Amino acid sequence: MHDPAALRSLHLARFQAEPAIFVAPGRVNLIGEHTDYAEGFVMPAAIDFATLAAISPRSDGKIVLYSENYQEERSFDASALPAKASKHWTDYPMGVVAILTGEGHKIPGFSLSLWGDVPLGSGLSSSAALEVATSLAVLSLIGASYPGPVLARLCQRVENEFVGANCGIMDQFISVNGEENHALLLDCRDLSFKLAPIPADVALVIANTMVKHSIAGGDYPTRRRESEAACAVINSHRGNVPFLRDATLEDLEKWGHEMEPKSLMRARHVISENLRTVAAEKALEKGDLAEVGRLMAEAHRSYSKDFEGSCAEADAMVELAQDIPGLIGARLTGGGFGGCTINLVERSQAKAFAEELGKRYTAKFGIAPQIHVCHASGGAHRVA
Ligand code: GLA
């Protein structure tokens, strides 16, 4: 999988300079969807798909970026940075440079080689992995560093302010702060978190519907606006509800009739999802896997029916998994409208489970899904 030595050779051959190399993982979210920008709770784990970034300084004042995935090199002038995004993969690394420059850092010229195996557009946070790997690389070049949560915020700003995707903090946070064999219950209000151990006999089986997902596109921001409109109605009545994190299901009973029907549904998902996420962590802690599975099933129903964030393929992937031996819980993970499902599966059954799910999905849709048996990995760090 990740091969820092191969990236080093490639960088040396292209740029004739010894690089420092950093890795940043993608993530899967066990539960807590569309709650992060409502300052609520999420419970992601970093996974063993990742982006590697190799960096070395240059003396000609240029920033030269090479992507092994896209087999493409682009060059920029370090003293004349692009002011805005150009809908190209270079937006992510150049967004990092722009945000760090805005923080008062003077970024000199450098060569950066990138390689990653987080499947693109599959809801596993390939973009967060790219931002985090790049920012660690660039910070090392200038001898600077930030505490993990601050670095995650800076990378989120790359998305929000440069790329133009209005995402929350979850993906960048877990890519920076993931812990081997653990999920992390993150409070997106103050970024405090609790490690939630994933039992050794439980596997994370990630099933890709092969339907592309995008958060820059229309649906993600529309859902976000709809849920925020519901929050504004509640806030107008009782104040102190700046985010849906602060709202309750009783609020919806009282004032739901004043909301657009879609807003009410979105808010019902977000408020109930926060409750489920906190409950799932407690159940995991107690070793009550049946309860974790039940909460995941409820979370999927809510994501699909109230948030309308799923699609036929993802609903089917969850449905088809239900009676395969070993399943603990299944739901659509990530930003939605396609992408992957996360299946918690008894480890001893994981391989057979993945094969059977793949067969069933192929028979139904005529598309072979990619199914990966993953493990919860550690967060971003220097590898060479
Ligand atoms: C995407 C965003 C996250 C989060 C999820 C939905 O992954 O980047 O911030 O909002 O969708 O839970």
Tell me the pLDDT tens digit for each residue of 328-339. 999 999 999 999
Vertex 244: Cα angle to 238 and 249 (nearest 5)? 75
Q: Give mean pLDDT, residues 103-123.
A: 96
Least confident of 212-216, 220-224, 259-263, 349-353: 212-216
Between the CA of residue 370 and those of 48, 184, 364, what are the distances in Å? 15, 25, 15
In testing the pocket of ligand 1, which one of 30, 34, 225 has its CB within 8 Å of the most ligand atoms?
34
CA-220 nearest atom, ligand 1? 11
Tell me the pLDDT tens digit for each residue of 209-226. 999 876 656 899 999 999
Distance CA 58, CA 64 (A): 9
36, 48, 91, 171: which one is catalytic? 171
Query: Is residue 171 flagged as an active site residue?
Result: yes
**Ligand 1 site, residue 170, Cβ cutoff 6 A:** yes
**Ligand 1 site, residue 335, Cβ cutoff 6 A:** yes
Distance 332 CA to ligand 1 centre (A): 12
pLDDT level of residue 200 (50, 70, 90 thresholds): very high
Query: How high is the pLDDT of residue 218?
Result: 81
Query: How high is the pLDDT of residue 151?
Result: 98
Distance 232 CA to ligand 1 centre (A): 21
Assess whether pLDDT exceeds 70 at residue 375.
yes
Query: Residue 12, exposed/middle/buried by CB under 10 A (0-12, 13-18, 19+)?
Result: middle
Tell me the CA end-to-end span of the chain in Å, nearest whole number.
16
**Ligand 1 site, residue 37, Cβ cutoff 6 A:** yes
Tell me the pLDDT tens digit for each residue of 173-188. 999 999 999 999 999 9
Residue nearest to atom 5 of ligand 1 (CA): 335
Q: Give mean pLDDT, residues 43-71.
A: 98
Q: Give mean pLDDT, residues 13-25.
A: 98
Q: Which amino acid is at 380?
A: A
CA-168 nearest atom, ligand 1? 9
**Ligand 1 site, residue 36, Cβ cutoff 6 A:** yes
Query: How high is the pLDDT of residue 215?
Result: 61
Angle 126-141/91-102 helices, nearest 10 degrees?
A: 50
CA-170 nearest atom, ligand 1? 9
Distance 78 CA to ligand 1 centre (A): 31
Query: How high is the pLDDT of residue 152?
Result: 98
**Ligand 1 site, residue 33, Cβ cutoff 6 A:** yes
In testing the pocket of ligand 1, which one of 42, 170, 274 has its CB within 8 Å of the most ligand atoms?
170
The answer to whether the CB of 32 falls within 8 A of the CB of 42 is yes
**Percent of residues, the chain, with pLDDT higher than 70:** 99
CA-127 nearest atom, ligand 1? 8
| Residues sharing a CB contact under 8 Å with residue 117, sequence separation 6 or more, in sequence order | 1, 2, 49, 50
Q: Nearest CA to 43 among 384, 363, 329?
A: 329
pLDDT level of residue 68 (50, 70, 90 thresholds): very high
CA-42 nearest atom, ligand 1? 12
Q: Give mean pLDDT, residues 346-365.
A: 98
Tell me 70's DSSP state.
T
Mean pLDDT taken over the chain:
97
Distance CA 351, CA 358 (A): 11
Report residue 254 as tokens.
Answer: 């009282």
In testing the pocket of ligand 1, which one of 33, 118, 127, 167 has its CB within 8 Å of the most ligand atoms?
167
Distance CA 325, CA 348 (A): 10
Query: Residue 267, exposed/middle/buried by CB under 10 A (0-12, 13-18, 19+)?
Result: buried
Distance 241 CA to ligand 1 centre (A): 21
**Ligand 1 site, residue 39, Cβ cutoff 6 A:** no
